Amino acid sequence: MDKETKEFLENLMNQMNSKFDKMEDSFQGLEDKFQGLENRFQGLDNKFQRLEDRFQGTENELKIFRKEANNRFDHLESGQRQIKALVEDMDPKNANRHLELKESIEDLRKNLTNVEIITSSNWNEIARLKKI
């Protein structure tokens, strides 16, 4: 091979090596960028995992709260039913008591009227006795 050809080939080889080095540097830069993106995505994935865990915890707390609230409402409804039953049971008793009280008052009125009549009769007799 002659010297010119050899120099040409060496020059061509150096240019190709230079371009390959540039390409390799570019690929290395791309790999670094992809690694950076991968790290960022991993960080985002970790953040989403923590959020998901927090939401799961909140969801569990809400389920527990809902069960407790339902139990309390059931207990309140049961108490309301008991109170309603007592009130319904008391209504007839109160009506009976009312009638009994009314009858007792009427009896007292009659007795008071009798006492007044007897007292009046006694005063009349006292007046007659004084006259004698």
Domain positions in the chain: 1-132
Rounded CA gap, 52 and 64, in Å?
18
More confident residue, 93 or 122: 122
pLDDT given at position 48: 94
Residue 99: its pLDDT value, please? 82
Q: Is the pLDDT of residue 125 over 80?
A: yes
Check whether 131 has a pLDDT greater than 90. Answer: no
pLDDT for 42 beyond 80: yes
- Sign of the dihedral through C-alpha 84, 86, 87, 91: positive
pLDDT at 128: 86
- pLDDT, tens digit, 9 for 90 and up, residues 51-66: 999 999 999 999 999 9
Alpha carbons 7 and 15: distance in angstroms, whole number: 12
In this predicted structure, the answer to whether residue 3 has a pLDDT above a threshold of 90 is no
Higher pLDDT, 99 or 10: 10
pTM of the complete model? 0.42
Q: What is the pLDDT of residues 72-111, one digit of tens each?
A: 999 999 999 999 888 887 777 777 788 888 899 999 999 9
Tokens of 87: 């009130």
Strand ranges in 7-131 using DSSP code E only, listed in sequence order: none
Tokens of 100: 């009994």
Q: What is the pLDDT of residues 67-80, one digit of tens each?
A: 999 999 999 999 99
Element at 13 (helix H, strand E) = helix 3-131
pLDDT value for 93: 73
